[in-house]
Structures are given as structure tokens and as C-alpha cells.
A = this chain, B = another copy of it.
């Protein structure tokens, strides 16, 4: 997806198109399958735009997540990671040794008996598998 696709989504929601917001989206579009913390997003942007505030990064990551443009991930350490909703819905294998992650195209919701979520309005879900990756096993 080109950046304009996301900018149009922002316009449709009636939020302002600021240079800061565009930079944040660009960071995520720079490479595929990127899982970035707020700190890391900030670090990447300040290389070119040193005045970008960390608070602005947090505020926008949160907003982009609420709009469905980003997904927030929790890999067990206590900092959120974000990825852009650019490719197919997926989940992750996370190595507890090196911290690296691989994506798996399996979603529990496809196998969940709807009886389990009777009277519950599902908004989102998380599923991650933790263990030792091939590299760390030698």
C-alpha cells in the first residue's frame, strides 16, 4: 500500500494531516513485517527531524491503532510494539532467547466455537507463541 492510502484514511476520519503523522507512517512502510516500539519509531524519525517529540509519537501510535491502521503487539517484555496493517492478519512466534519473531498465518478465531463468545462483543485478540527459535537452538 502506498502512503496515500493511509493518508486518505486519516482524512476520512477528520484528523489533521501533519508532517509528524506522515513521518510515522513512512517509518512503518520502509520495510515489511516491522515491529517497532515507540522509542524505536522516535529514534528513526529524529535522525532526519530532530524536533519530533516522543510524546507525539506515543499520541499518534495510539491514535493510529484506534483507527485500525496499526496493530499493537505485546511480546512479553513490558513495552508495546506496533506494526502496520499492510499484509494479511497473522500472529507470531517469539524467541525468548534472542527476542526475534517470526510470523505465522494461523488465527485462533478461525477455529473458535462461537459458543464460547456468546454475549461478548469481540473487538480484538492476541495470540503469541513463545519459545526458542531455530538459530538459538544451534
**A-side interface residues toward B, CB under 8 Å?**
74, 76, 78, 80, 93, 96, 102, 104-106, 108-109, 111-113, 116-117, 119-134, 137
Q: How many copies does the complex hold?
A: 2
Which of A78, A126, A130 is the most central at the interface, judged by chain B CB atoms within 10 Å of its CB?
A126
Residues of B within 8 A of A105 (CB): 116
Separation of A131 and B124 alpha carbons in the complex (Å) = 7
Shortest Cβ distance from residue A45 to the other chain B in the assembled complex, whole angstroms: 23
Are A134 and B119 in contact, CB atoms less than 8 angstroms apart?
yes
Are B120 and A93 in contact, CB atoms less than 8 angstroms apart?
yes
Are A126 and B126 in contact, CB atoms less than 8 angstroms apart?
yes
Residues of B within 8 A of A125 (CB): 127-130
